[in-house]
Chains A and B, each alone.
Chain A
Amino acid sequence: MTRSRSAAIVVVAMAVLLLGAVLASALLGQLPVTPAEVGQTILRALGVPLPAGDPVIEGALQVVRFPRILLTLLVGAALAVAGVAMQAVFGNPLAEPGVVGISAGAAFGAGIAIALGLSGFGIWTTAVFAFLGALGAAAVVYLVARSQGRTEVVTLLLTGIAVNAFAGAGLALMLFLADSGSREQIVFWQLGSMSGSRWPEVGIVAAITVITGIGLLLQHRRYDLLALGERGARHLGVDVERLRVVTIVGVALLTGAAVAFCGIISFVGLVVPHLIRMMIGPGHRGLILASAVGGALLLTVADLLARTLVTGADLPIGMLTSLVGGPFFFWLLYRQRRRSGGWA
Chain B
Amino acid sequence: MIRGSAITLRRGGRSVLEGIDLDLVGGEVLALVGPNGAGKSSLLGVLAGEFVPEVGVVELDGRPIGSYSNAELARRRAVLTQEYTVTFPFLVREIVAMGRAPWARRPEADGDDEIIEASMAETDVARFALRRTTELSGGERARVALARVLAQRTSIVLLDEPTAALDLGHQEQVMLLARRLADGGRAVGVVLHDLSLAAAYADRIALLHEGRLIAIGAPAEVLTAERVGAVYETPVRVVEIDGVPVVVPIRH
Contact = CB atoms under 8 A, between A and B. Distances in A.
B132 interface: yes
Interface in A207-247: 221, 224-229, 231-232, 234-239
Contacts of B9: none
Contact of B90 (A224, A235, A237, A239): A224
Given A234-B70, A236-B152, A237-B73, A225 B101 contact: yes
A91 interface: yes
A344 B134 contact: yes
A3 B104 CA distance: 20
Interface in B150-180: 152
Interface string A309-344: 000000000000000000000000000000000111
A1 to B, nearest CB: 11
A211 to B, nearest CB: 23
Given A224-B90, A343-B134, A229 B85 contact: yes
A277 interface: yes
Contacts of A236: 74, 98-99, 101-102, 152
A281 B91 contact: yes
Contacts of A344: 88-89, 132, 134
A168 interface: no
B81 interface: yes
Contacts of B50: 231, 234-235
B90 A283 contact: yes
B79 interface: yes
Contacts of B88: 93, 227, 277, 282, 343-344
Nearest to A91: B87
A257 B214 CA distance: 60
Interface string B56-87: 00000000000001111111001101010111
Nearest to A237: B74
A140 to B, nearest CB: 22
A150 interface: yes
B26 to A, nearest CB: 20
A266 interface: no
Chain A interface, >50% SS class: loop
Contacts of B152: 236
Nearest to B78: A235
Interface string A277-296: 10001110000000000000
A237 B70 contact: yes
A103 interface: no
A245 B199 CA distance: 46
Interface string A69-96: 0000000000000000000000111000
Contacts of B79: 231, 235
Interface in A114-173: 150
A342 B69 CA distance: 33
Contacts of A283: 90, 94
Given A236-B99, A236-B101, A237-B75, A227 B91 contact: no
Nearest to B132: A344
Given A281-B90, A283-B94, A343 B85 contact: yes
B28 to A, nearest CB: 21
A226 B87 contact: yes
Contacts of A231: 50, 79, 81, 83
Interface string A1-38: 00100000000000000000000000000000000000
A325 B182 CA distance: 54
Contact of B87 (A92, A238, A281): A92
Contact of A281 (B89, B98, B101, B148): B89
Contacts of B90: 224, 227, 281-283
17 contacts: A3-B94, A225-B101, A227-B90, A229-B81, A234-B70, A235-B73, A235-B74, A236-B98, A237-B70, A237-B73, A237-B74, A238-B70, A239-B71, A277-B89, A281-B94, A343-B134, A344-B132
Given A91-B87, A235-B78, A237-B73, 13 more contacts: A92-B87, A150-B85, A227-B86, A231-B83, A232-B83, A235-B73, A235-B81, A237-B72, A237-B101, A277-B89, A282-B88, A282-B89, A343-B86
Interface of B: 48, 50, 69-75, 78-79, 81, 83, 85-91, 94-95, 98-99, 101-102, 104, 132, 134, 148, 152
